[in-house]
Structures are given as C-alpha cells and as structure tokens.
Amino acid sequence: MEAIRKFVLCLVLLAPMAANACSDLLNAEFRPLAGKEKVSLCSLFEGKVLLVVNTASKCGFTPQYEALEALHQRLGARGFAVVGFPSNDFLGQEPGSEEQIKEFCTLTYGVKFPMFEKVTVKEGTAVPFYRELASEAGGEYPGWNFHKYLIDRSGKVVASFGSRTKPDDPKLTEAIEKALGAAAAAGTH
C-alpha cells in the first residue's frame, strides 16, 4: 500500500511537468554556429514565440539579416526570438565554413540572434527538424533561402512565409504580434 501511495504522489508531483513538457518539434539538438557542443532547442526556446529562418550569405535576400536582427531586438523582451539555420541547398549560396558564416553575419549585419549549424532544408534531404517544420506547415518546405516558419509558445507552427516576405512585412509582423498576444492573453508568459 505504501508503494502505491508513493507512486500516486509521484504522478501528482510530475503531472504539472508533463503538462509543460517541450513540444515534439523543439525536442531537437543543434550546435550553435561554429560551436562544438549541441544544445537543446527546448532548453533555449521553450515557451517562446520563434521565427525560424534558413539563411545564406550570398543570396539576394541576404540583406534580410538586418531586419531579422531588428525584429529580434525589438520583440525579444516579450518572449520572441529569431532563430537562424544556414543552408547551402539553393545554388550553393552558403558555401563557407561555419566560422566564415558567423564572421560574415556578425561583421556585415550585426547579427546577434541565435544561429545554429549549417543544415539541409530542401524536401527529400531536409534534417528531421525541417521535415517536421514543413509537415506542420502543411507540407511547405523552403523553396529558397530566408523562408520563415512562425512557431507559437506551445511549439506549434502557426504560419509559414516565403523568402520574398520581408521581416517587416505587415502580414508577418501581425502574425508575430498575434502569437505574442495570444500567449499574453492566456496568461502564459
């Protein structure tokens, strides 16, 4: 009987943790750009609104780095983050090493938002994280560099934006505000 009581007590104590468990989508690990050790996306971003972007340094959309950083800085205190994943999938527009990519982003565009290891994002070769992003976005994979997935605080993809959508586009900023506001209205900061 004592063992059953302890088991039930354990379940009661762990239930709130299970309710707040990280989403399957964010249950992934990646190395920070040019880093050595993988980090958990859950530990870094659980409960935040995220804009996940596949990036490239030699693309016509590369100047979006500047506006992405501005968005990250402006909304970061409200639980928002831009998260970048360099990719060389589209015409070899990210050929450099991770060290070169990091230096370029920092020196050219002042990027401070989190950037992670170079990955593949195209349908058929995408890493599992990008396969899941696409699945949650109705099968929409990036068609080019600077595709954007908006993830709400519960870790679900709520919108997907093509490369031509600039970070300051009203449709994108309204979707971000809605995701931030929905969480605030529900009292989950």
Return the pLDDT at 3.
Answer: 55
- Residue 188 and residue 59 in contact, taking contact as beta carbons nearer than 8 Å: no
Return the pLDDT at 12.
Answer: 41
Return the pLDDT at 9.
Answer: 44
Sign of CA dihedral 124, 121, 156, 174: negative
Q: What phi and psi values does residue 15 have, to the nearest 5 degrees?
A: -55, -45
Active site residues: 59
Return the pLDDT at 21.
Answer: 75
d(CA 111, CA 84): 10
Mean pLDDT, contiguous 10-residue spans, the chain (189 residues): 51 44 93 97 96 97 97 97 98 97 96 98 98 97 98 97 97 97 57
DSSP, collapsed to helix, strand or coil, labels residue 112 as coil
Return the pLDDT at 189.
Answer: 46
